[in-house]
Amino acid sequence: MAKERDLEMPNHKIGGHKIANNINIYAILLAGGTGTRLWPVSRELYPKQLVKFIGNDSLVQSTIKRLAPVIDTENIRIVCGQEHFYEITRHMAEIGVQAKGKIICEPCGRNTGPAILLGALNILKTDSDAVLSVFPADHVIRDVKKFHENIKTAIKLADIGHIVTYGIKPGYPETGYGYIEGAKELSGSALTIKRFVEKPDEATAEKYIKAGNFYWNSGMFTFKASVIIKEFKRFQPELLKSMKNLVDREQAITMDEYEQLPDIAFDYAIMEKTDKGVVLPSDFGWSDIGSWKSLYDFLPKDENNNVIDGDVIAKDTKNCFIMGHERLIATNYLKNMVVVDTPDSVFVSDIKNSRDVKSIVAQLKEKGRKEYHEHKTLHHPWGVLTLLEQRDDFTVSKLIIYPGSTFQVNTPPPPNPLNGGGLGGGGG
C-alpha cells in the first residue's frame, strides 16, 4: 500500500486537468454493453448508451458533458464495439467533441477487464503515466456537483497509489447490484475494502443496509495507469502479455485474436485480489439504468406516480412506466406495470419483474428473430434507413442521407489505427 500523504496537496490543479508532478487525468468510458434489460428500446445494434431516455442527450452524450468540468474532453477515451464506432462519433460531434483519436474499438466484447486494460495501454502509448477514471457510458447521476467532488477526491487518492472504486450509499435493499464491504477508514473518507459481495437476496441486502458499511458496486474506478498495469502484471500476466502484443503492433486486431482473451470482469481480475483497493463512499444520486424498473425509480413521477413518455392516455393508471412515440397508447385500470412500444415490438410486464426481459431477448436470439438485434430504423455512417414495409417481392424504405455523405450498401470498418494501436479510432 502506498504511504499516506496529505490529500489537500497545494500543487493539485484538478480543474486544470493536471495534478502534482504534472500527471494528466483521463477518462475511459465503457460503452460496450447491449442493455438487454431495456429491450425493446435497447438492442445490440443500438444499445442503451445511444438512446435518449432522459432529456435531449443520449446517455453517452450526458456522460461526456457531466465529466467535462473536471476532465478535459481531449482526454476522454471511449471503448466500444466496432459496430458502434460511427454512431458514437456522430453523438460526440453533436455536442461539439471531436472524436478523432478518442474512440477505441473492440472487435467483440470480452467484459470490463480487457476493456479497461485496452484503454489504459492505448493511453500509455502517448502518455508515460496518467490518472485514469473509468466510467460506464450508460449511467445517470442527479447531483453532478457532489459527483465532481468525489472525482477530485478519487484522483488525489489515486495519485498516492490507491485503486479507488466508487461505492454508492444504498438507499434501499436492492438485490440487483453487487455490494462492497468497507473496513478501515483512510484519509479522504475512503475505506479499505474487506470484500466484494455478489448480488444478495432481499433479506441479506437488508442486513447490509443495517450494517452501514456496505455500498453498491457502481463499476466506476480511478487509478494511476502505472499502478494498474503493475496489478495486471501481478494478477493477470497472460492477459497483459496478450493485450500488449495486440496493441503494440501496427496491424488491426482481428475478431479471432480478440476472442482468445479471457472474458473477465475488472472486479474479478483485479479488485478482488489487489491490496491497493479502496472504496470511496458516494451519494450523488446514481443509477445504472439497468432495467425498466431502475429507469422508473430514477425519473420524476406524475400525480399518479406514473412515468409517461409519449402520446399516452392513462385512465385509472397508477405506479406505471409507459413509453411509446410511434402511436397512441391508451391504458385502463393498470397498476405497477411497464408498457414500452416500438415500431416492431411491444413489451408489457409488471415493474418488479421487468428485468426478466433479458430471458425474452435470449429466446429471440435463439429463434433467429432480428428484433433482438436491430430496429426497423438502422443508423449508418452516411445516414439513416427506416424499413417501412417488406414483402416477399418488394421492400419499401425511407432514407435520410447526411449532408456531404454518400450512400453505401456496406458499412466500412472503423478507421485504423488509433495512436498506432492497431484498432479503429479515427472519425470526426
Check residue 1 and give its pLDDT. 39
Neighbouring C-beta atoms of residue 393, cutoff 10 Å: 5
Query: Which three cell numbers mark 179?
Result: 455490494
Q: Is the dihedral of CA 269, 271, 274, 276 positive or negative?
A: positive
Q: At what angle do helices 112-124 and 225-235 cross, to 10 degrees?
A: 130
Neighbouring C-beta atoms of residue 198, cutoff 10 Å: 9
- Ranges of each domain in the chain: 14-289, 293-372
Check residue 415 and give its pLDDT. 64
d(CA 145, CA 70): 10
Check residue 284 and give its pLDDT. 96
271 within 8 A of 196, measured Cβ to Cβ: yes
DSSP state of 128: S
Would you call 120 helix, strand, or coil by DSSP? helix
If the chain, 428 residues long, is cut into consecutive pieces of 10 residues, what is the mean pLDDT of each piece? Answer: 39 47 87 91 93 92 96 96 92 95 94 97 92 96 96 95 97 91 88 94 94 96 97 98 92 90 96 97 94 93 97 97 95 98 96 93 94 88 86 88 83 56 39
d(CA 144, CA 283): 10
Place of cell 429466446: 363
d(CA 264, CA 284): 28
- Contacts by residues 68-74 (CB-CB < 8 Å, ≥ 24 positions apart): 69/15, 69/148, 70/14, 70/15, 70/17, 70/25, 70/148, 70/151, 70/152, 71/17, 71/25, 71/26, 71/27, 71/133, 71/151, 72/17, 72/25, 73/97
d(CA 115, CA 29): 10
The CATH code of domain 14-289 reads 3.90.550.10
DSSP 157-173: HHHTT-EEEEEEPPSS-
Neighbouring C-beta atoms of residue 330, cutoff 10 Å: 11
34 within 8 A of 43, measured Cβ to Cβ: yes
The pTM of the full predicted model, rounded to 2 decimals, is: 0.88
